[in-house]
Structure 1
Amino acid sequence: MRSRFPSDRQLNARMGLTLFLLGLVYVVFIAALVALLRSWVLAVVLAGGFLAVQYWFADRIALFALRGRPVTREEQPQLYGVIDRLCAQADMPVPRVAIADMDLPNAFATGRNPTHTVVCVTTGLQRRLEPEELEGVLAHELSHVAHRDVAVITIASFLGVLAGLVARFAFYSQLFRDRRDQNTAVALAAVMAVSALVYALSFLLIRALSRYRELAADRAGALLTGRPSALASALTKISGDMARIPTGDLRTARAFNAFFFTPALRADGGLSRLLSTHPPLDRRLAQLERISAELAGRRAGS
């Protein structure tokens, strides 16, 4: 099903190039595993098993880890009202809705496709945002759902995770192997080196892909609501309030940064920006300002 969320050709081109490079890295990795382990079956079983777990259970894992619970329309009528209206505008199915009882002001969407998805909002976010700001955040999250971003990131990342596990397996095998078997030692060292390189490359490419998809979701959400200023206000407010959340709580949630509307710990610059799952705040706000100007120009011309 195609939704009415608008897309961005330049961002789509960048994401396509990033996915192509990831695919190239993964093809080389699987070929190296087959050559070194001499088994197609082992490589396919390892890759397929991790993909299946990540793809089918991403929503349950995220909800469990962040203490989210599904809620009914009777419990959250206002939240459902906003989501129903946005889904009708975007011509997409209404996802499951959940609440996480956390002071951390954030939201996330996860699931394998638009019909098996959950949108979760924290109580801290509900408490801080005005209705139009919350609508902007939810439009951003629903854009992730409509564009299948969770599935894209899951598929893009699973071989990177596999590479990390294979590197660890090869390392521990080296520790406990028979020292007289030199051929095995060379093979394990090669597997470890290839796996470490693939993990590093995929880590950087997935972070770049995640940043592009956040920008695309900002744009699609802002155009759907027609109020980019409300989304910019929500971003500014949440980012400012993050500074008042205890660092220990932020670090606990940091593992789920890729899911969040805004990162739990902000990247200050340099290498940390390169490794961040989200674009810097100033870049997101600048894009929303350009969208405001675009919409103002369209209204003036009509």
Structure 2
Amino acid sequence: MARTRYASDRGLTSRMLVTMFLLGLVYVVAVGAFFVFVPQWAFFALAVAAVFLLAQYFFSDRMTLFAMHGRIVTPDEAPELHGVIDRICALSDAPKPQVAIADTDVPNAFATGRNQKKAVVCVTTGLLRRLDPVELEGVLAHEMAHVAHRDVAVMTIASFLGICAGLVTRFGLQIGLFGGFNRRSNDQNTGLILLAVIAASALAYAVSFMLTRALSRYRELSADRAAALLTGRPSALASALTKVHGEIARIPTNDLRTAQAFNAFFFTPAFGKGFSVSSLFSTHPSLDKRLAQLSKISAQLSQGA
């Protein structure tokens, strides 16, 4: 974790290390299977994967802002927003990130960038309209905790294997549907080889998906905890969470679908009222779990006062 006044979280650090170690094992197995079954394409595939990884790592801030139609704003353009960020930087002793606004009514916020020097914290116009300054401070402290914990860089690397494995599975199935499962080459059953590659990729995708989702849920709880302790106002963050969840339920379905691709980055997922999904596959812990943690922190701060 970067040297700031954000509360350290050994649990988050250990989970990051374990997740990266397990993903590394999965990666070795997947690459090994690729070299065994399709060695003629292995080096090309690895080169393409490396290029995608480097692009995602070094340009994640620009790509995310572009996709969300966000723009960097100056203190003159958004003085109140910059004022809240400045206060959090003073409290946390963290370098000031770039500040951006995305023009969408979906109330949310996200942080991106591979490190503190390249960090961008973006809020939507919908969030600015709905939260008061104290609630906004809690949300932005949460997002800057992600930057301090280096969550963006870790999650970018952790999710990369799943993205590659998913693409291999998809392209393999498309090739198979166009006759690849029935072809023979050099006395070997090409169809069976293709099936083996698809199976290995699908397994790698499933394992990496589960690991990254579990890590993502914990990092959200860690960011909530760090933000609550830094600001000393867990109730403000709880109020913002409750308000944002309620407001998202009123957003048109089409707008939510557009935003859902960025749920892993958001302060809270863009799912409407009535949506249900197993907690095993969610990028965020449930609202009840987040509020329960904040209530516990509030009680601890009251006892220590």
Tell me how many residue pairs correspond in the alignment: 299
Verify the 8 A CA contact 2:256 2:272 in the aligned structure 1: no
Structure 1 residue 19: deviation in Å? 3.1
SS in 2 for 1:102: coil
Alpha carbon RMSD of aligned pairs, Å? 1.9
Partner AA of 1:136 in structure 2: G
Compute the TM-score of the two structures, normalised by the length of structure 1. 0.93
1:11-90 pair list within 5 angstroms: 11-38=12-39, 41-90=43-92
Verify the 8 A CA contact 2:116 2:148 in the aligned structure 1: yes
Verify the 8 A CA contact 2:16 2:154 in the aligned structure 1: no
Measure, in 1, the Cα distance between the counterparts of 2:93 and 2:38. Answer: 48
Verify the 8 A CA contact 1:95 1:118 in the aligned structure 2: yes
Measure, in 1, the Cα distance between the counterparts of 2:275 and 2:114. Answer: 32
> Paired residue for 1:172?
174
1:1-302 pair list within 5 angstroms: 1-38=2-39, 41-174=43-176, 175-177=178-180, 179-181=183-185, 182-265=188-271, 271-299=277-305
Measure, in 2, the Cα distance between the counterparts of 1:277 and 1:25. Answer: 21
Partner AA of 1:203 in structure 2: F
Verify the 8 A CA contact 1:228 1:292 in the aligned structure 2: yes
Runs of 4+ in structure 1 deviating by more than 4 angstroms, as ranges, are 266-271
1:33-84 Cα deviation digits (max 9, x unpaired): 2222226633531331221121122112211121111111101111111111
Verify the 8 A CA contact 1:104 1:122 in the aligned structure 2: yes
Measure, in 2, the Cα distance between the counterparts of 1:180 and 1:15. Answer: 44
1:8-29 Cα deviation digits (max 9, x unpaired): 3334434433333222222211
SS in 2 for 1:98: strand
Compute the TM-score of the two structures, normalised by the length of structure 2. 0.92
| Structure 1 residues not aligned, in runs of 5+ | none
Partner AA of 1:179 in structure 2: R
Q: Percent identity?
A: 64
Verify the 8 A CA contact 2:210 2:281 in the aligned structure 1: yes
Measure, in 2, the Cα distance between the counterparts of 1:218 and 1:90. Answer: 14
Measure, in 2, the Cα distance between the counterparts of 1:151 and 1:14. Answer: 15
More displaced 10-residue stretch of structure 1: 14-23 or 136-145 = 14-23
| Structure 2 residues not aligned, in runs of 5+ | none
More displaced 10-residue stretch of structure 1: 247-256 or 270-279 = 270-279
Distance 1:266 1:6, change over 3 A: farther
SS in 1 for 2:271: coil
More displaced 10-residue stretch of structure 1: 174-183 or 119-128 = 174-183
Measure, in 1, the Cα distance between the counterparts of 2:94 and 2:255. Answer: 34
Measure, in 1, the Cα distance between the counterparts of 2:26 and 2:277. Answer: 22
More displaced 10-residue stretch of structure 1: 60-69 or 104-113 = 60-69
Measure, in 2, the Cα distance between the counterparts of 1:246 and 1:267. Answer: 11
1:161-186 Cα deviation digits (max 9, x unpaired): 10111122322333254723244322
More displaced 10-residue stretch of structure 1: 7-16 or 92-101 = 7-16
Verify the 8 A CA contact 2:249 2:272 in the aligned structure 1: no
